Amino acid sequence: MVNFISQQPSHDELREAFQAGFDSIDDGDGFYFGFRSFLEERGFERRYDIPCTCTDNGDRGHQPECRYVKTYNR
């Protein structure tokens, strides 16, 4: 039996991803281009087959980092 564990971005990784998004705006691309690229370069992927990962379960809308996880075989 294969067990999978997942990890969400840390506080520091999210702070850097947001900064990458803002830098991306300055470079003429959209926020999400930089935000997504930063997380994906570090092995995170956006998974639509898992429940919302927002701290408030999406009650006030989804946060940009919603459903970004790294998945490992254990």
pLDDT 10s digits, 60-74: 899 999 999 998 766
- Distance CA(20)–CA(57), nearest Å, equals 25
List the beta bridge partners of residue 6. Answer: 71
Rg (CA), the chain: 13
Q: What is the pLDDT of residue 3?
A: 59
pLDDT 10s digits, 18-56: 999 999 999 999 999 999 999 999 999 999 998 999 889
Domain range list for the chain:
4-73
Q: What is the pLDDT of residue 72?
A: 75
State the burial class of residue 62 (Cβ atoms within 10 Å of its Cβ: 0-12, 13-18, 19+): middle
